[in-house]
A and B are shown apart, each in its own frame.
Chain A
Amino acid sequence: MFNKATTTINKSLAALFLAALSSKSFAAWDDINMTEGVTAISKEVFGLHMLIFWICVAIGIVVFGVMFYSMFAFTKKKNPNPSTFHENTKVELAWTIVPFLILVLMAIPASNTLTKIYDDTAGDINIQVIGYQWKWEYRYLEDNIGFFSNLSTDQDEIDNNTPKGEHYLEEVDEPVIIPVGKKIRFLITANDVIHSWWMPDFAIKQDAIPGFINTAWTIVDKPGTYRGKCTELCGKNHGFMPIVVKVVPQDEYDIWVATKQEEALKMAELTEKTWSAEELVQRGEGIYQKNCVACHQSNGAGIVGIFPALAGSDIVLNDKARHLEILMEGVQGAAMASYANQLSEVDMAAVITYTRRSWGNAENGDGKIVVPTDIVEYKNLKLKEEEI
């Protein structure tokens, strides 16, 4: 009830404030205030935000009012003989106790909302969210599907070579899809450094921390596309790993799940197919652009001192086994992560082959290619080792 009342007050005050400000549209208001969001919790959070904001405004008006009055009324010209009072126990007690009471009043609704947010019981749909440098992985635990979600804004837009699109830096190649009205629980963790998964419209922000699983939940009743970002500095491309969640009707969601599962089957068939070097290089280029350029650069030269070059690298030229191992296991103590779970067997083989045959590597080294079945073999071998 308290919250409802404050929301109404907020709305009317905000409207007043707006009217007073200018004839600017509500879109402009959205550009300078917190979103109300689309969930019950996000609306409560917005209510708290506006409540504490107006409390601060009220206190500010009183304090600055007295101050500005004193500044004008008690200049040396107008008041050459200053008063000499410098203590007053009653007043001092009052301005200690009254703020304390205001804070207690504020703490009550805040604590209530917080308690509601802290519900870590299982959801209807449980999605594991994993932060990587610099992308997100989503695994739907019940339906056994999973995928990576990368920034899809063109590098040319970032480099100012082409005009920027409407959703510049807020678009991904594959959004999270969830159905309306279901309780979704997110299980949030990270693979390398700390990231933070923020979806303003759901009022969810949880750090993704390696070795920890944080939970957050939401129920969204309004279909739509919602956009968020990583909010913990996670290295070079921290600003370039957005989050997009698409909320769809249940039947649409079911169809999407079925399609994803079918895709996984097709991928298994591709793995068995016989691949030529050219096919692999062609497929590998796209994978490389998506996963590797951030560090190793599009010309394979890396960044001196931080990210090793692939062009002319001894391993890439002549050591197929080690090359494969680095991609599968990552490099201990360095930024290179394991891609074993990030790339399918086909994509893994393709990207390795691409690097072995680009930038003059094919001419300067052995030019050996890696095929998807090599990756399967490697994985089986690892499994056997672990059993022993």
Chain B
Amino acid sequence: MSAVIESHDHDDHHHGPAEGLTRWLYTTNHKDIGTLYLWFSFAMFLIGGAMAMVIRAELFQPGMQIVEPEFYNQMLTLHGLIMVFGAVMPAFVGLANWLIPMMVGAPDMALPRMNNLSFWILPVAFFILLSSLFMEGGAPNFGWTFYAPLSTTYAPPSVTFFIFSVHIMGASSIMGSINVIVTIMNMRAPGMTLMKMPLFVWSWLITAYLLIAVMPVLAGAVTMMLMDIHFGTSFFNAAGGGDPVLFQHIFWFFGHPEVYIMILPAFGITSHIIETFSRKQLFGHTSMVWAMTSIAILSFVVWAHHMFTVGLPLAAELFFMWATMLIAVPTGVKVFNWVTTMFKGSITYETPMLFAIAFVVLFTIGGFSGLMLAITPADFQYHDTYFVVAHFHYVLVPGAIFSIMAAVYYWIPKWTGNMYDERLGRLHFWLSFIGVNVTFFPQHWIGLAGMPRRVPDYALQFADWNMVSSVGAFLFGASQILFLFIVIKTVMGGKKASPEVWEGARGLEWTVDSPAPYHTFSTPPKVS
């Protein structure tokens, strides 16, 4: 008998993390993989951010000062690709890895080995993409939307590496999504019905379905480009009987759901944080689920609002205008629910709450400009100007990225067992908040006044606000170094966190110790 017990002990001994670098290379643990994703995304955020600094430095004054127009285009292309595919998406996957198993009471993700693979191919993809900077002819220079034929016939040779890199990112996303769906569908603790599921889990379930639906479409688009470039086809080449507009239809059929992929998990995060710090149950849990589902479904029928100026027939313009305006309804419901949750709550303002409130306000402003952009005749004036740049940065930076920062501050005590430095956290918030608004709010104005996007130089009437915008960008950029410092400081030590961490926190992840043990919920909890 004693031999049996001993071997049991022996097993237990191996249940902790392995030692050294191979821990990270071979790990199948959802918490380790979550950490890897989050650090990777942080690194990409800093690289993509550095490129944004180059862009804003060049735009600080009219005239060409720092870079050549050719290199400027490479910067704006890589900035977009890295922020979308390297920073925002992997950050959300990292959060999903850390949180979904703990939130549904599962011991790990359903497919741990695939989980490892889906992470480790990402650095490969971005190594390939970034290496194109050093290739003859330079990096991709056709914008993150890579419209053909600029990205095919007229592209630098590195476009082929870009295509393979996108393929790898797509494979990683699809594997990650399958993992999320299988985990949520099969591994929920007894008693956790779908409608009882925490909203972050819900938001990711919907996101994962969107990813599986549209990533293959993106793969199709880049494959057609590859064929056009190397194998003599003419999918997007008018001279060969192809259609450059077809590219845009395919790209935006991917691209529009993609922008919701980058915001739905943020909705989930914000719901949790506002609920916690209002010390009041979230208002309208069910309507939140339906709102997210409606947004996801609508995202498939609005893609051509990115293409109002390509010469669509009137009927199409009308349809896409109306469908796009309709998205304001479920989005409005979400905002109203958050506000009503705060109403008659008992609110405190820790850093995660500050970021979450800023998210609601600034995302709503991004939503307003989105509604304006939906009005087709007005879009003829807005399209491809800085107004659009302001719009999508409002939904992506103080939208998606603020929600990620809020999530980090909110859950980092659970991850590390240490409280972050509240004073520094608030400082980081205020610097980021001021920086982001000074950067992007004036861009609405210069866009309306007529400055096109994606230009390295501009006419003199745009000079003042461009300078203001650049100053804001430098402030925002610099404050992220502070964020890095705060995170490292928290990982290294700090005030010990209790299992609940926050007074008003709800959810299974707050029932385990802080830091969360390497293995949680080996036996499922009961949810009533």
- Smallest beta-carbon distance B326→chain A, Å: 7
B136 touches A87 (CB 8 A): no
B321 touches A107 (CB 8 A): yes
Write out the residue numbers on chain A whose beta carbons fall within 8 Å of the beta carbon of B361. Answer: 64, 67
A32 touches B70 (CB 8 A): no
Q: Within residues 309 to 345 of chain A, which ones have a CB less than 8 A from any CB in chain B?
A: 333-335
Write out the residue numbers on chain A whose beta carbons fall within 8 Å of the beta carbon of B4. Answer: none
A114 touches B456 (CB 8 A): no
* Interface assignment of B445: CB less than 8 Å from any CB of chain A: yes
- Nearest B residue to A48 via CB reads B378
Contact flags B449-490 to A (C-beta < 8 A → 1, else 0): 110111111111110110000000000000000000000000
Contact among A52, A92, A159, A168 with B375 in the assembled complex (CB-CB below 8 Å) = A52
Q: Within residues 297 to 319 of chain A, which ones have a CB less than 8 A from any CB in chain B?
A: 303-306
Q: Which of A9-17, A189-197, A355-363, A378-386 contacts B (4 or more CB under 8 A)?
A: A189-197
- Nearest B residue to A45 via CB reads B377
Write out the residue numbers on chain B whose beta carbons fall within 8 Å of the beta carbon of A81. Answer: 346
Contact flags B327-369 to A (C-beta < 8 A → 1, else 0): 0110011011001111111111100000001001100110011
Write out the residue numbers on chain B whose beta carbons fall within 8 Å of the beta carbon of A166. Answer: 460
Contact among B154, B157, B311, B376 with A214 in the assembled complex (CB-CB below 8 Å) = B311
A231 touches B283 (CB 8 A): no
Q: Which of A56, A64, A84, A200 has the most CB of B within 10 A?
A: A56
Contact among B156, B314, B340, B461 with A118 in the assembled complex (CB-CB below 8 Å) = B314
- Nearest A residue to B388 via CB reads A231
Write out the residue numbers on chain B whose beta carbons fall within 8 Å of the beta carbon of A335. Answer: 154
B321 touches A114 (CB 8 A): yes
* Interface assignment of A100: CB less than 8 Å from any CB of chain B: yes
A92 touches B378 (CB 8 A): no
A114 touches B314 (CB 8 A): yes
- Smallest beta-carbon distance B464→chain A, Å: 8
Q: How far is the CA of A56 from the CA of B369 in the complex (A)?
A: 8
Contact among A66, A83, A118 with B339 in the assembled complex (CB-CB below 8 Å) = A66
- Smallest beta-carbon distance B99→chain A, Å: 22
Q: How far is the CA of A87 from the CA of B460 in the complex (A)?
A: 53
A193 touches B454 (CB 8 A): no
Q: Which of A66, A71, A214 has the most CB of B within 10 A?
A: A71
Q: How far is the CA of A160 from the CA of B63 in the complex (A)?
A: 6
B328 touches A99 (CB 8 A): yes
A92-B287, A103-B329, A194-B244 known; A110 vs B321 contact (CB < 8 Å): yes
Write out the residue numbers on chain B whose beta carbons fall within 8 Å of the beta carbon of A212. Answer: 238, 244-245, 311
Q: Within residues 216 to 260 of chain A, which ones have a CB less than 8 A from any CB in chain B?
A: 228-240
Q: How far is the CA of A100 from the CA of B328 in the complex (A)?
A: 8
* Interface assignment of B448: CB less than 8 Å from any CB of chain A: yes
Write out the residue numbers on chain A whose beta carbons fall within 8 Å of the beta carbon of B339. Answer: 63, 66-67, 70
- Nearest B residue to A197 via CB reads B309
Q: Within residues 241 to 287 of chain B, which ones have a CB less than 8 A from any CB in chain A?
A: 242-245, 278-287
Contact flags A94-117 to B (C-beta < 8 A → 1, else 0): 011001100100110011011101
* Interface assignment of B138: CB less than 8 Å from any CB of chain A: yes
- Nearest B residue to A213 via CB reads B311
A158-B63, A196-B384, A239-B69 known; A96 vs B333 contact (CB < 8 Å): yes
Write out the residue numbers on chain A whose beta carbons fall within 8 Å of the beta carbon of B28. Answer: none
A192 touches B149 (CB 8 A): yes
Write out the residue numbers on chain B whose beta carbons fall within 8 Å of the beta carbon of A194. Answer: 147, 149-150, 244
B460 touches A236 (CB 8 A): no
Q: How far is the CA of A60 from the CA of B344 in the complex (A)?
A: 20
B346 touches A79 (CB 8 A): yes
* Interface assignment of A281: CB less than 8 Å from any CB of chain B: no
* Interface assignment of B73: CB less than 8 Å from any CB of chain A: yes
A71 touches B149 (CB 8 A): no
* Interface assignment of B325: CB less than 8 Å from any CB of chain A: yes
Q: Within residues 48 to 98 of chain A, which ones have a CB less than 8 A from any CB in chain B?
A: 48-49, 52-53, 56, 59-60, 63-64, 66-67, 70-71, 74-76, 79-87, 91-92, 95-96
* Interface assignment of B216: CB less than 8 Å from any CB of chain A: no
- Nearest A residue to B344 via CB reads A83
Q: How far is the CA of A175 from the CA of B307 in the complex (A)?
A: 28
- Smallest beta-carbon distance B46→chain A, Å: 25
* Interface assignment of B513: CB less than 8 Å from any CB of chain A: no
A92-B333, A192-B154 known; A44 vs B368 contact (CB < 8 Å): no
- Nearest A residue to B228 via CB reads A333
Contact among B342, B378, B458 with A52 in the assembled complex (CB-CB below 8 Å) = B378
- Smallest beta-carbon distance B516→chain A, Å: 27
Write out the residue numbers on chain B whose beta carbons fall within 8 Å of the beta carbon of A214. Answer: 310-311
Contact among A74, A91, A232 with B346 in the assembled complex (CB-CB below 8 Å) = A74
13 A–B contacts, CB within 8 A, in A order: A48-B378, A75-B346, A82-B345, A87-B283, A168-B459, A170-B459, A198-B452, A207-B311, A229-B455, A236-B69, A239-B458, A306-B138, A333-B153
Q: Give the 7 A-B residue pairs with the shortest CB-CB distance, closest first.
A: A211-B238, A239-B455, A305-B136, A32-B445, A214-B311, A305-B137, A56-B368
Known pairs A31-B465, A193-B149, A211-B238. 9 more at Cβ < 8 A? A52-B375, A63-B364, A67-B357, A81-B346, A95-B333, A114-B321, A160-B65, A200-B450, A232-B384
